Amino acid sequence: MSDRKIKRTLISVFDKTGIVDLARALVDEFGIEIISTGGTASLLKKEGVPVTMVEEVTDFPEMMNGRVKTLHPKVHAGILADRDSPDHMRQIKEQDIEPIDMVVVNLYPFGKTVADPDCTFEQAIEMIDIGGPSMLRAAAKNHKHVVVVSDSAQIDPLLAHMREHDGTVDADNRVALASRVFEQTADYDAAIHDYLAGRKADGTKATSTAIGTSRLHLPSRPLHSSLRYGENPHQHAAAYSTEASSQRNGIGTVNQKPLSGTEISFNNFVDADAALALCHELSRSTPDTGVHNCVFIKHTNACGVGTHADPIEAYRRAYAGDPNAAMGGILACDFPIDAAFAETVMNTYGTWGKEFGAGGFFVEVWVAPAFAEDALEVIKTTKAWGQRVRLLAVGDFAVKPDAVETDVKKIAGGMLVQDRDLVGLNEDQWKVVTKRQPTDRELQDLRLAWLVCKHTKSNAITVCNDAMLIGNGAGQMSRVMSCRIATWLAKENGHADRLTGAVAASDAFFPFPDGPNILMDAGITAIIQPGGSKRDADTIGACDARNVAMICTGTRHFKH
């Protein structure tokens, strides 16, 4: 019965946050006996909390460095006995087993352990908890009679409830606590499966991943934030995180909340993720070069990209790419934001916007490694929109992307799962297929165009010149149309003179020379594309006829 007083509690935890306060309250306020093990028992004794060692209960010593200590009938029968069953109660009495009314256990941190790149296979195996999940599942199954606490965050609410209910825990809370256990153990087993599925017998990484195995395990995600609505106001939505992502920078990490500004919307999340992904990739492609990168994203596609040793010049180039599209866009910078740079951004419209013919300027979300305190003050006080802009400090851009994390796309009735596209500037596979080699300047711009194009919705054509994006043709049904849009946007945004000598990237091969001809007619002098069309020779011949350089990368970057 849920109103039965708790007499005995078993406490055995890895994470000891709040455990002393809980144990002391159970003993001093409610007269509950504490059974404990190993390090937990040592801590409680040190803090003056009376403890009965589990060996005294089982009359059996711990074995194998603690691998076997609670796996015993006197523990599990005490947890699993149905107090409403006379037969159960007769049997435990015959075996001199006392019921256990509360189980406080948390699991070895397997996910956190294997997230460390220095973790060995042997260390990972030792972090596979056996006794913990067994006790938790037993207590959760018998939640009608046993209260189960599996998370330190549950301690304070539980004690408050017990104080209000004369030391008892009601049925609704018991069910909720039990439900949390099975959520945790399911995630725990899935994490172990995914780790082992990516390993060979000697512990080294296998070339294959868990993708393609008979079943797909997707761990449950903690709620990041409730959203006012989804892509549209009539759609309900919420954001959830992957708990392990707290080890890396990401828009959806459990510890990622805006430093300032209003609530992040569904579309903000999607666009900010796209901005971070592109800016992160650009940053990884220019390590230790002193180059800074700025990106403007609108509806997941880049409308402005600039790179330069001077962060303000990098930003100016990014903004100048498409000033009208930049208004209300997502800004990502791969460097910490100081007060001087913040002032530049806040005064964008007055400094450049009017000159460029823009109608106004504000930023919806601003992503960067960090924001200095004086920069936050500038942002909040310079313009009215500074109070609303969502500021996301995502940490060091030098953190490598998680190769294990999968790319999941929902479809009606199922989902598609694939490895993330982490191929960047794989220049060892690039081949110049034309008579003319690209110049050093063209090659620099080709690298930029190739990475921007990779992060642009297919069909994608990206045009760059002088380390900035000047035209991006995205998401068209025809590659020819993407070529037309990219060159038209360059002219529309005042870059007609920059088209001469510019470079272009295509995310997939050109089936015919018609697309390259449009680009070359506009003044493009170098093109980068995967190659692989049956008519590559025709396209290469068209480039040779006009002395245009072409690189084939051998890698396609469709983005749907």
173-231 pLDDT, tens digit per residue, is: 999 999 999 988 988 888 888 788 777 776 676 655 556 666 666 666 777 888 889 99
55 found inside a domain: yes
Residue 236 is predicted with a pLDDT of 92
Residue 446 is predicted with a pLDDT of 98
Of 26-40, 88-102, 247-261, which range is least confident? 247-261
Q: pLDDT tens-digit profile of 407-421? A: 888 889 888 988 889
Residue 544 near residue 435, CB atoms below 8 Å: yes
Query: What average pLDDT does the segment 40-68 reach?
Result: 80
pLDDT(263) > 80: yes
Residue 135 near residue 10, CB atoms below 8 Å: yes
Query: What average pLDDT does the segment 44-52 reach?
Result: 90
The C-alpha atoms of residue 480 and residue 461 are separated, in whole angstroms, by 9
Render 215-281 in DSSP notation, one character per residue: S-------EEEEES-SSSTTS-EEEE--GGGGGS--TT-TT---SBSSPPPHHHHHHHHHHHHHHHH
Query: What average pLDDT does the segment 414-434 reach?
Result: 92
Q: pLDDT tens-digit profile of 436-451? A: 999 999 999 999 999 9
Residue showing tokens 């868990």: 210
203 found inside a domain: no
The C-alpha atoms of residue 234 and residue 431 are separated, in whole angstroms, by 50
> Phi-psi category of 123—alpha, beta or left, where left has phi over 0 and alpha has psi -120 to 50?
alpha
At 544, the pLDDT band (50, 70, 90 cuts) reads very high
For residues 546 and 493, membership in a common domain is answered with: yes
For residues 14 and 124, membership in a common domain is answered with: yes
- CATH number for the domain spanning 32: value is 3.40.50.1380
Helices (H), 386-535: 440-454, 479-492, 496-499, 514-522
Start-to-end Cα distance in the chain: 55
Residue 255 is predicted with a pLDDT of 54
For residues 378 and 447, membership in a common domain is answered with: no
- CATH number for the domain spanning 270: value is 3.40.140.20
Q: Which of 197, 219, 239 is the endpoint of a domain?
A: 197
419 found inside a domain: no
Tell which wins on pLDDT, 464 or 253. 464
Tell which wins on pLDDT, 541 or 53. 541
pLDDT(514) > 50: yes
Candidate list 7, 72, 141, 144, residue with the active-site label: 141
Residue 254 is predicted with a pLDDT of 47
| Paired tokens of 387 | 């109070």
Provide the β-strand partners of residue 408: 417
Residue 465 is predicted with a pLDDT of 97
Residue 115 is predicted with a pLDDT of 78
For residues 318 and 454, membership in a common domain is answered with: no
Of 55-69, 171-185, 336-350, which range is least confident? 55-69
227 found inside a domain: no
Residue 247 is predicted with a pLDDT of 43
For residues 176 and 268, membership in a common domain is answered with: no
406 found inside a domain: no
Compute how many other C-beta atoms are within 10 angstroms of the C-beta atom of residue 74.
Answer: 18
For residues 25 and 129, membership in a common domain is answered with: yes
> Comparing C-alpha atoms, which of 332, 345, 319 is closest to residue 273?
332
Query: What average pLDDT does the segment 232-245 reach?
Result: 80
Residue 111 is predicted with a pLDDT of 82
> Comparing C-alpha atoms, which of 144, 134, 138, 136 is closest to residue 85?
144
Residue 245 is predicted with a pLDDT of 44
> Comparing C-alpha atoms, which of 192, 157, 38 is closest to residue 105?
38
Candidate list 144, 299, 380, 491, residue with the active-site label: 299
226 found inside a domain: no
Query: What average pLDDT does the segment 88-115 reach?
Result: 86
For residues 43 and 152, membership in a common domain is answered with: yes
pLDDT(246) > 70: no
Whether the ω angle into residue 459 lies within 30 degrees of 0, i.e. cis, is: yes
| Paired tokens of 388 | 């609303």
The C-alpha atoms of residue 61 and residue 97 are separated, in whole angstroms, by 17
Residue 497 is predicted with a pLDDT of 95
For residues 177 and 256, membership in a common domain is answered with: no
The C-alpha atoms of residue 531 and residue 547 are separated, in whole angstroms, by 18
3 found inside a domain: no
> Comparing C-alpha atoms, which of 73, 78, 101 is closest to residue 8?
101
At 237, the pLDDT band (50, 70, 90 cuts) reads very high
Residue 1 is predicted with a pLDDT of 47
The C-alpha atoms of residue 392 and residue 332 are separated, in whole angstroms, by 9
Of 59-63, 184-188, 302-306, 427-431, which range is least confident? 59-63
Residue 94 is predicted with a pLDDT of 85
Residue 208 is predicted with a pLDDT of 53
Is residue 141 part of the annotated active site? The answer reads yes
Is residue 76 part of the annotated active site? The answer reads no
| Paired tokens of 78 | 């005490």
The C-alpha atoms of residue 527 and residue 285 are separated, in whole angstroms, by 19
Q: Which of 173, 197, 221 is the endpoint of a domain?
A: 197
Helix (H, G, I), strand (E, B) or coil at 432: strand
Question: What percent of the chain is modeled with pLDDT above 70?
Answer: 91
At 116, the pLDDT band (50, 70, 90 cuts) reads confident
At 122, the pLDDT band (50, 70, 90 cuts) reads confident
Q: Pairing state of beta strands 406-411 and 414-419?
A: antiparallel
Average pLDDT of the chain? 89
At 2, the pLDDT band (50, 70, 90 cuts) reads low
The C-alpha atoms of residue 473 and residue 31 are separated, in whole angstroms, by 71
pLDDT(504) > 80: yes
pLDDT(262) > 80: no
For residues 170 and 259, membership in a common domain is answered with: no
Q: How many domains does the chain have?
A: 3
For residues 57 and 122, membership in a common domain is answered with: yes
Helix (H, G, I), strand (E, B) or coil at 329: strand
Render 348-413 in DSSP notation, one character per residue: HIIIIIHHHT-S---EEEEEES-B-HHHHHHHHHHSGGGGT-EEEE---TTSPP-SSSEEEEEETT
Q: Which of 164, 197, 230 is the endpoint of a domain?
A: 197
E strand or H helix at 341, and its extent? helix 339-346
For residues 301 and 435, membership in a common domain is answered with: no
- Structural domain span for residue 382: 249-393
Residue 324 is predicted with a pLDDT of 95
Most confident by average pLDDT, 8-17, 78-87, 531-540: 531-540
142 found inside a domain: yes
For residues 539 and 443, membership in a common domain is answered with: yes
pTM exceeding 0.85: no
